[in-house]
Amino acid sequence: MLAKSLSFILCAATLSLSLPSLADTAVEHYGQLAVKGNRIVDQKSQPVSLAGPSLFWSNTGWGADKYYNADVVNYIQEQWNAPIIRAAIGAGLNGGMLSHADENIAKAEAVVDAAINQGMYVILDWHAHHAEDHPQNAIAFFEHFARKYGEQPNIIYEIYNEPLADTDWHTVIKPYAQKLIGAIRAIDPDNLIIVGTQTWSQDVDKAADDPITGYSNIAYTLHFYAGTHKAELRKKAQYALDKGIALMVTEWGTVNANGDGAVDRASTEQWVAFMKRNQLSHANWALNDKKEGASMLKPRAAADGFWSDDDLTESGSFVKSIVKGWSEVDFSGDE
């Protein structure tokens, strides 16, 4: 009987060692992210693909900043099994960093602290369309966060959300990015930096033809909205990957590019297949209750994160199913 008991214990111990621990967080599991060729990889140099939501603009007075809190981050990790979240920190005036810097930094820190506590990755996004007009503000922002959190592997720096169509990659965006990267790398030598690309972060082909050199762990931003962007943009993205640069989809929507309209399920599924095939990490727009198609939450959804499925919009329900089923590893603690 004793021999049988010992045998059972040994078998159980062997089985438990062979299975991923449900107690592991995403950051414990994947560790320090890096860029290797055209892929973002984990601490074992294996390609990693993460899925989660993006918060809406953080600007004071816009209404979405109520979701910049630990309860919301905890909900997304525990209920959606999301290993990543994006904080879209408004960079301009009208409630953004240029007029309300301290308030927006506090909001960003609330999300970062909660993400670190949950073992999640967090994208710090300088959410701007004219970032080249105020590079010193962006540098000061990222220097602050690099000093405070740069030793944590959780942090991902997105230094320019969406340059416009007439903002040239070669003469404007790339020089801006080089300034920002130099400032960040002087403090944080290794966490991922994601560089926005021309035409609302769609012209990744231009970046691929003239990539940033001299720094490691640099990837480029690809944005799409499934109702508007179809095979032609995927062709651009595939070209960029084939040229050897790494991409991250830091913002995407199930609807039209204006953030509204009906959910385009067929196009979204094509994009999901593309991201799966190319092992791309992504964050869906947007975790907010604004009355528009892209919002995950219905109007007046509570700010505490204790939402039922009835609080989710059509897009929110669809995106939840995508995010929750994305990773083969369960970080939520569910059996």
Bond preceding residue 226 cis, omega within 30 of 0: no
CA atoms within 13 Å, Cβ hemisphere of 34: 13
* Cα–Cα distance for residue pair 230/184, rounded to 1 Å: 34
Contact by Cβ (8 Å): 22, 335: yes
The one-letter amino acid at 125: D
Would you call 100 exposed, middle or buried from its count of C-beta atoms within 10 A (0-12, 13-18, 19+)? buried
Distance, CA of 152 to chain centre: 16
Give the β-pairing of 39-41 and 34-36: antiparallel
Residue 40 β-bridge partners: 35
**What is the separation, in whole angstroms, between the first and last Cα of the chain?**
31
What is the torsional sign of CA 101, 253, 296, 157? negative
Contact by Cβ (8 Å): 157, 191: yes
Q: How far is CA 81 from CA 153, 182, 243, 310, in A?
A: 19, 34, 33, 19
Which residues are tagged catalytic?
162, 251
